[in-house]
Amino acid sequence: MKDFSRLEKKIQVKFKNPDLLRQAFVHRSYINENPQFELQHNERLEFLGDAVLELVVTEYLYNDYPNPEGELTNWRASLVNSHMLAKSARELGLETYLFLSKGEAKDTNVKARNYILANAFEALIGAIYLDGGYKPSKAFIEKILIPQLPNILSNKLYQDPKSQFQEMAQEKTGVTPHYKVLKESGPDHAKKFQVGVYLSDELVATSTGTSKQEAQVKAAASALKKKNWG
């Protein structure tokens, strides 16, 4: 039995309608396996929460930073992306409250679970908004998510590693990095790509991913560390 009263204490939100809180954690797979369950899945709440999250973060950035629109857009994107939301969800222990199918619950794919957690985090915001309005939603986001912003800004996390490595490489060496696929492995439905990032003929770093783009981003992140440019 999931004790949602503990979660209410942790997030400092007391729900008038506890079913809204529970619904925020119901994954579609659970409903497919338990069609008689009294609640719907969380996708509509997620849709609402996504909009509330974007408004709160936009308002905060607009009021607190005089930077141009392009910079604020990048900062917002880095604060509300699925990686950051999943991280915040894990820190709150939200995984414990998920309603998942047996198959989904056993799945050890971290990427897939992070996606589910990020969606649940947005659904939770949607539930807080429906239950209590804008004020508690804003308070929750400002307490849980906004404190991540200084770290994003000081470490330039709003730049993806490829952009950051290119900027640093051009600044320090005058060379634009390029990427090569060094190896492909695995069946078509589960391919892995090993990619190298080069400065002229120098192979700076390699990495592997489930797509060429993912491998390139990882290789760039590794190259930043190797060059001590991060």
Distance CA 230, CA 222 (A): 9
Within 10 Å of residue 99's Cβ, how many Cβ atoms?
A: 23
What separation, in Å, do the N-terminal and C-terminal C-alpha atoms of the chain show?
A: 45
* One-letter amino acid of 178: H
User: Checking phi first, is residue 71 left (phi over 0); if not, alpha (psi -120 to 50) or beta?
Assistant: alpha
Q: Active-site residue numbers? A: 50, 122
Give the three-class secondary structure for 88.
helix
Partners of residue 209 on adjacent β-strands: 193
Phi, psi of 215 (to 5 degrees): -65, -40
Distance CA 161, CA 166 (A): 8
Q: Determine the length of the chain.
A: 230
Distance CA 163, CA 156 (A): 11
CB 128 within 8 A of CB 137: yes
Phi, psi of 178 (to 5 degrees): -135, 160
Record the tokens describing residue 5, joined without a space. 């009263």
